Amino acid sequence: MISRRTSRWFRAAGLVLCIPALIVVWLAVLRLDTADEYGWAAAVVILALHGLARRFPLRLVARERTAEFTTAPLFAFALLLTEPTSLAVLGLAFTALVPPREVAPPRWIRPVIEVSRTLLVYGAAAWVLGALPLLLPASVSPLAATDGSWQLLLIVLPAGVVAYLVDVAVDTGLTAIEYGSSLPVVWRQDRIRHDPLIHLLLVCLSPAVVVISQHSLLLVPLLLLVVIGLYRSSRLVALEQHAALHDGLTGLANRRQLDERLETLMRDDRHQDPFALLMMDLNRFKEVNDQLGHQVGDRLLQEVGRRLLQMEGVDLAARIGGDEFAFLIRHTVDADMLLEIGERLVQEVAVPYVVNDIHLAIGASVGVATYPDHGADTSTLLRRADTAMYAAKRSGVAVGFSARDRTSSPGRLSLVGQLEEAMRSDELAMDFQPKVSLRTDAVVGLEALLRWNHPIHGLILPDAFVATAEHTELIGLMTRHVLRLALEEAARWKLATHPVPVAVNISTRDLQDRHLARDVESQLAITGLLPTDLVLEITETALQVDPERAGQVLGELRELGVGLSIDDFGTGYSSLAALQHLPVNELKIDGTFVRRMQEPAGLAIVRSIVHLAHALDLTVVAEGVEDEASVRELHAHGCDHIQGYAVARPLLPVWIVPWLEARSKEPPGGVLRTLRAAPIQAPRQRMGAQT
């Protein structure tokens, strides 16, 4: 996809190209009044053939590349040889408006560029032929000035060379600007289309068109049969080659094309731009195949392939076998950008499908390897990406990076590199947001919200580092660190005679850790708290990565006696029916639904979630409650607990006990009260897989 900045440069280049093109038009118009009557019928026929040749280019295939070239120069030079060149150039510019079969953005500038390019290319050829710059009378054609075919070739060949050079220069330059690539790379990729031998061969055949038109105008359309024959033949060859390089089920590239493309890049760009290879494996696809049959599985793969073909930022998408896919990403090895692309791939695949009226939900894991850091040959790079993919699958994260990643990228990764030191230096701290009961007005919990007081960058919110940390071993250490801090604070509340459960968010990767229950039990013992003093909050997304393993870990935690809560319910693709199989006892409605309760549809969603959750014996908590109207609405529909600015903003640990004491001394019924005397902090984002 063309970036906005590149698109602006492309439009600017197209407009600059208009300047010399307008000069060519001006010179041509100057000679129109001196043009003698000539064979307009032949001109119209040849122009029509030129337009058809532009509309139906021929296809050639070399290795993994399929390129198109046009036979239009054959008819263009025939027109230059038979007509006054001023008329010929203007006519060719008119046929340049014939739309190509492919549509490439930006659309409005494309006709302008094509007309300008045609004027420059054939204006230069006409200059060599001697007519346009007034070196010859406008009515004198090169054919009339020659007595033999060899003399004609001496005139046509130099004109063809000049036209070729101008066309290649303009086309290569515009393509480089359009796709943000270098000129040598564009030239190598388009060398089939820019083959000088093909171009000059067509130029040399143009006198044959002239001879045929002079002999009988009725014979000229017969050339169309030749063009159609060439088009059909090249199309059949291209289709055969396409079948050899593409997966027949999904339409994506196959393993052969991927290997050839990688080998070409490694050979051509060994000392130029690096690139990345992403491997993706579908989760739960085997269950679909086994339970619903291969026909449904194939239909599902076709739907996956259709989505992957439309992904932006991917240079090549390939199915390399079964439910495994590979993606070539050029022009960047920035880890943050690759992480974003990988996450978009997983999110796109995770959107539910409907196949044969059956609703299906699958997931995916992605592994990333970069060239040349992780491999200098195709097999090594594929192996490293495959290893990273299965490491991500085992760890329960969406995207994993190959080890020994030496790419230097600022931003989230640079922060993650400092996390271990931040934990040792006590730079990570907690704010706590209260949760109260709508029935009793009692404080029923406090949620721990992570913040990082960085010595250089100041306050850093979790979305700057937690998501990236989930792809490293640090996420487990950070979860234990946050758990320790939160339980220590809860122990202080209990000592101050305010025993309130504390809620801690855990990540996707934590939910796949079979040691989590053991470590939680150890931390509870160290702080002297009971399992009922702790609630662990899990997002819907975390449950979908590996439901079976997540269910086992949740079962161990529930057996321990820890409270379990589904956080941000409604933002994923879980159903309330699926919750009955999970050992959870609380459900938190995402704040986006709460804020939409003023709309009938939003209110209906909240009401349905509350009623169905109660049917499953789950406590319902509404997040993001900010005003009294929302409090009344939630109370009216039976919501159990609320959390948000309507209760209190997140508080520093030092203010928790005073706030609890102040609330205990006030009369009941004031769910809107806050500790007004306490300094109130800006809202923090919680730590977890979703920040």
What does 180-219 look like in DSSP terms, one character per residue?
T--HHHHHHHTTTTT-HHHHHHHHHHHHHHHHHHHH-GGG
Q: Is 40 exposed, middle or buried (0-12, 13-18, 19+ CB in 10 A)?
A: exposed
Pick the closest to residue 674 from 690, 654, 687, 660 (CA basis): 660
Mean pLDDT of 511-531: 92
Structure tokens at 190: 């388009």
Mean pLDDT of 655-667: 86
Look at residue 429 and give its three-state secondary structure: strand
Where is pLDDT greater, at 423 or 147? Answer: 423
- The Cα–Cα gap between 461 and 483 comes to 18
Q: Is 495 exposed, middle or buried (0-12, 13-18, 19+ CB in 10 A)?
A: exposed
Instruction: Report whether pLDDT(318) > 90.
Output: yes
Residue partners of 551: CB distance under 8 A and separation at least 6? 581, 582, 583
Pairing of strands 353-355, 358-360: antiparallel
- The Cα–Cα gap between 377 and 453 comes to 43
- The Cα–Cα gap between 593 and 431 comes to 24
- Amino acid identity for residue 254 in this structure: N
Residue partners of 354: CB distance under 8 A and separation at least 6? 360
Cβ atoms of 590 and 623 within 8 Å: the answer is yes
- The Cα–Cα gap between 110 and 98 comes to 11
Longest dimension (CA), the chain: 114
CA distances from 368 to 15, 326, 385 (A): 40, 10, 5
Structure tokens at 411: 């931003």
Structure tokens at 159: 């004109």
Residue 104 is predicted with a pLDDT of 46
**Dihedral angle at the C-alpha atoms of 192, 194, 199, 200, nearest 10 degrees?**
-100
Residue 279 is predicted with a pLDDT of 92
88-147, pLDDT tens digit by residue?
A: 777 777 777 766 555 444 455 677 777 788 878 888 887 777 644 444 444 444 444 444
* pLDDT tier at 588, thresholds 50, 70, 90: very high
Cβ atoms of 279 and 324 within 8 Å: the answer is yes
453-469, pLDDT tens digit by residue?
A: 888 877 777 776 776 67
Which of 459-468, 521-530, 583-592, 659-668 comes out lowest in average pLDDT?
A: 459-468
Pick the closest to residue 198 from 103, 383, 59 (CA basis): 59
Q: Is 174 exposed, middle or buried (0-12, 13-18, 19+ CB in 10 A)?
A: middle
Which of 195-204, 220-229, 422-431 comes out lowest in average pLDDT?
A: 220-229
* pLDDT tier at 551, thresholds 50, 70, 90: confident
Given CA atoms 185, 186, 188, 189 in this order, what sign does their dihedral have? positive
Max avg pLDDT among 178-192, 459-473, 627-641: 627-641
Instruction: Report whether pLDDT(638) > 90.
Output: yes
- The Cα–Cα gap between 19 and 449 comes to 60
Q: What structural domains does the chain harbor?
A: 4-245 (1.10.1760), 255-409 (3.30.70.270), 423-665 (3.20.20.450)
Mean pLDDT of 345-363: 87
Instruction: Report whether pLDDT(648) > 70.
Output: yes
Residue 188 is predicted with a pLDDT of 58
What percent of the chain is modeled with pLDDT above 90?
21
Please provide the average confidence, as pLDDT, over all residues in the chain: 76
235-265, pLDDT tens digit by residue?
A: 666 667 667 788 888 989 998 889 888 888 8
Mean pLDDT of 665-691: 44
* pLDDT tier at 184, thresholds 50, 70, 90: low
Which of 94-108, 154-168, 303-317, 550-564 comes out lowest in average pLDDT?
A: 94-108
- Amino acid identity for residue 686 in this structure: R
Own/partner long-range contacts of 494-498 (Cβ < 8 Å, ≥24 apart): 494/529, 494/533, 496/657, 496/660, 496/661, 498/657, 498/660, 498/661, 498/664
Cβ atoms of 422 and 413 within 8 Å: the answer is no
First to last CA, the chain: 28
Structure tokens at 61: 């295939």
Nearest-10 crossing angle of helices 40-55, 72-82: 160
Where is pLDDT greater, at 386 or 537? Answer: 537
